[in-house]
Amino acid sequence: MSEQQETKKQRIFSGIQPTGVFTLGNYIGAIRNWGQLQQDYECIYCIVDLHAITVMQKPADLRANTMRCYAMMLACGIDPKQSVAFVQSRNPHHADLSWVLSCSTMFGELNRMTQFKDKSARHADNINAGLFTYPVLMAADILAYNADLVPIGADQKQHLELARNVAIRFNQRYGETFTVPEPYISPAGAKVMSLQDPMKKMSKSDENVNGCVYILDDKDTILRKFRRAVTDSDAEVCYREGKDGINNLMTIYGCVTGKTMDEITAEFAGKGYGDFKTAVGEAVADHLAPVRDEFARLSADKAYLNACIDAGSEQAYRLTRPILSKVYRRVGFIDRK
């Protein structure tokens, strides 16, 4: 093996939907890790606007949200000089590959996807084909770059499993073409739960506004949401089965302070839940303060953001072009120039 091959970094791909302000779940489960991985991997991160239109969007809002989410992604620590940071619709290869892969994806596989079932229940008036084939596009996002690793929260695991199966099937059918990607799911915070219903994932679509913390919430709002968090009827801050509310708060506190569960238990021994909830709120608000400041700074510089999107999307296109050419040759299309 040549020296160059030995030192070649593994490639990472991940994406996030521009459907509103990122939640603390998005941040802890995914984006925080994206930033940390930039040193050691070749990273490609994407605002997935093609995915967003599987549910009804107002065009002007989607455009504005895509820009805002791009700024949020950078504010969370993604450096567009170090990583490829772009907008999905600006690289047409995602949609091109998605079609090819859809012909190697079985209807039954898609029909088993729990997110499709959840979303079609929530959007019963708009169960469109895109909602159903969404995981194929996600597979295309990842496979178009031959990514080795995909940092995601636990809720995306089933989609990643499908991407792996599609890659394996395609490789068997047409010869080795795609890298079979591995999920990168961080051991802590892979599933941040709602503050109002700790059996449910924290989600933008939570009807109860107090269940979900957004990364741009101000300090008072964050404190208020944590003070109202649902806990249990005993008064011991410790991580134990059945204490879902406290377990969730401890996980969040651990993720933003770096403290272990034992350290947190010791810190709050003999103190009430009120003190603990306030401490978690304070720690989260302090942790997110620089993200909010950076977001405000970046949002004021639209020209910079547009230049970053242009450059990132161009880089992304250049990365996928040879892979798409290979796929087209493999399936028997006349090669594009």
Query: Is residue 287 within the footprint of ligand TYM (CB under 6 A)?
Result: no
| Rounded least distance, CB 292 to ligand TYM, Å | 19
Q: What is the DSSP letter of 192?
A: P
226 Cβ contact list (under 8 Å, min separation 6) = 195, 213, 249, 277, 278, 280, 281, 284
Residue 133 sits in the site that holds ligand TYM (CB under 6 A): no
Q: Is 29 in the site for ligand TYM (CB under 6 A)?
A: yes
14 binds ligand TYM (CB under 6 A): yes
Closer by beta carbon to ligand TYM, 139 or else 268: 139
- Bridge partners (DSSP) listed for residue 47: 16, 87
Cβ–Cβ under 8 Å, residues 192 and 206? no
Q: Is 117 a catalytic residue?
A: no
Q: Per DSSP, which regions of the chain are E strands? A: 11-16, 42-47, 84-87, 149-151, 182-184
As measured in angstroms, the least distance from the Cβ of 270 to ligand TYM is 31
Residue from 12, 15, 80, 145 touching ligand TYM (CB under 6 A): that is: 15
Strand order in the sheet with 182-184: 84-87, 42-47, 11-16, 149-151, 182-184
**Per CB under 6 A, which region of 21-29, 101-109, 223-231, 304-312 contacts ligand TYM?**
21-29
Distance CA(7)–CA(319), nearest Å, equals 19
Stretch 39-58 residues interacting with ligand TYM (CB under 6 A): 48, 51
Q: Does residue 40 sit in helix, strand or coil?
A: coil
Q: What is the Rg, in whole angstroms, of the alpha carbon atoms belonging to the chain? A: 21
- Kindly name the residue from 157, 204, 219, 259 that is annotated as catalytic: 204
Report the residue number, 160 or 223, with the smaller CB distance to ligand TYM: 160
Q: Of 54 and 231, which CB lies nearer to ligand TYM in the complex structure?
A: 54
Q: How many Cα neighbours within 13 Å face the side chain of 237?
A: 25
Q: Which is nearer to ligand TYM, 32 or 277 (CB)?
A: 32
Secondary structure E strands in 21-82: 42-47
Active site residue 204: yes
By the 8 A CB rule, do 140 and 150 touch?
A: no
Q: Which segment (34-42, 63-71, 137-145, 320-328) binds ligand TYM by CB under 6 A? A: 137-145
Q: For ligand TYM, which is the closer residue by CB, 30 or 85?
A: 30
Q: Among the options 201, 225, 243, 277, which is catalytic?
A: 201
Choice from 45, 83, 85, 141 touching ligand TYM (CB under 6 A): 141
Residue 241's SS3 state is coil
Residues 103/68, Cβ–Cβ less than 8 Å: no
By CB under 6 A, residue 231 contacts ligand TYM? no
Residue matched to tokens 């993720």: 255
Tell me the three state secondary structure of residue 226. Answer: helix
Nearest to 177 by CA among 45, 322, 4, 318: 322
Q: In this chain, which residue has its C-beta nearest to ligand TYM?
A: 29
Among 155, 197, 267, 282, binds ligand TYM (CB under 6 A): 155
Question: What end-to-end distance do the CA atoms of the chain give, in Å?
Answer: 31
| In the complex, least distance from residue 48 CB atom to ligand TYM, rounded to whole angstroms | 4
Is 212 among the residues that bind ligand TYM (CB under 6 A)?
no
Question: Of 22 and 268, which CB lies nearer to ligand TYM in the complex structure?
Answer: 22
Query: Shortest gap between Cβ of 150 and ligand TYM (angstroms)?
Result: 5
Helix (H, G, I), strand (E, B) or coil at 5: helix
User: Is 219 among the residues known to form the active site?
Assistant: no
**86 or 268, CB closer to ligand TYM?**
86
- Contacts with ligand TYM, residue ranges (CB under 6 A): 13-17, 25-26, 29-30, 48, 51, 138, 141-142, 150, 152-153, 155-156, 159, 190-192, 201-202
Q: Which residues are catalytic?
A: 119, 201, 204
